[in-house]
């Protein structure tokens, strides 16, 4: 998986999946054009964190400081974010995809998220999302683990909502083809 190139080492990870009964191209298109606005729970959770409502798409997330690390159509999308997520401002670090891997400033954490599309034998596709976090230094690891203890259930809700929205969009795309 491409995520391994950007996050081979990590202290925290979470993974969720869903099987879709649509062609892999529909699943990919649905994920690439993911729009989280229909989910009130995602809107509420992101607003609670102080994130702007205009970034509720994958492209919109790039405006928040996420960087698109890889995008191989119908295979995998990988994006990352560097910051001090446990602080109120999150101190997001603006980096390019090229600089992401080499960033190693202690006191920060690097989060990498992917969406993978795997064809199944029965004509369906398994869509998986994994989040990995690599903490740069002992202090950031301590702070992040405490933060993750509090935030991981909500992060999980968001990822599960992503998958639900991808399924709904992929099924809608399939109906229109």
Q: How many CA atoms lie within 13 A of 83 on its CB side?
A: 17
For 108-162, write each residue's pLDDT tens digit. Answer: 999 999 999 999 988 899 999 999 999 999 999 999 999 999 999 999 999 999 9
Among the listed residues 76, 78, 45, 82, the one whose alpha carbon sits nearest the alpha carbon of residue 64:
82
Give the pLDDT score at 53.
66
Q: Where are the alpha helices (DSSP H) in the chain?
A: 3-6, 24-32, 40-48, 58-64, 97-100, 138-175
Strand order in the sheet with 125-135: 12-20, 125-135, 109-119, 76-83, 67-72
**pTM for this predicted structure:** 0.92
* Residue entry with tokens 């599960």: 160
Among the listed residues 11, 6, 34, 8, the one whose alpha carbon sits nearest the alpha carbon of residue 117:
34
Phi first, then psi: what are they for 102, rounded to 5°? -80, -10
What is the count of structural domains for the chain? 1
Task: Decide if 133 contacts 148 (C-beta within 8 A).
Answer: yes
What is the extent of the structural domain holding 128? 3-175
More confident residue, 105 or 176: 105
More confident residue, 63 or 51: 63
Specify the CATH number for the domain of residue 76: 3.30.530
* Residue entry with tokens 């992917």: 114
Q: What CA–CA distance (Å, rounded) separates 165 from 161? A: 6
């Amino acid at each position: 998986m491409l995520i391994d190139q950007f996050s081979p080492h990590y202290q925290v990870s979470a993974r969720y999946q869903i099987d879709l009964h649509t062609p892999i191209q529909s699943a990919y298109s649905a994920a690439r054009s993911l729009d989280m606005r229909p989910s009130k729970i995602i809107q509420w959770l992101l607003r609670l964190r102080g994130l702007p409502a205009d970034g509720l798409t994958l492209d919109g997330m790039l405006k928040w400081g996420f960087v698109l690390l890889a995008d191989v159509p119908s295979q995998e999308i990988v994006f990352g974010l560097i910051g001090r997520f446990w602080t109120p401002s999150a101190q997001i670090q603006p980096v390019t995809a090229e600089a992401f891997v080499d960033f190693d400033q202690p006191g920060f954490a690097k989060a990498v998220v992917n969406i993978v599309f795997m064809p199944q034998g029965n004509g369906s596709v398994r869509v998986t999302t994994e989040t990995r976090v690599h903490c740069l230094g002992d202090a950031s690891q301590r702070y992040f683990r405490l933060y993750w203890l509090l935030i991981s259930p909500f992060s999980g809700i968001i990822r599960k909502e992503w998958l639900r929205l991808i399924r709904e969009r992929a099924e809608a795309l399939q109906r229109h083809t």
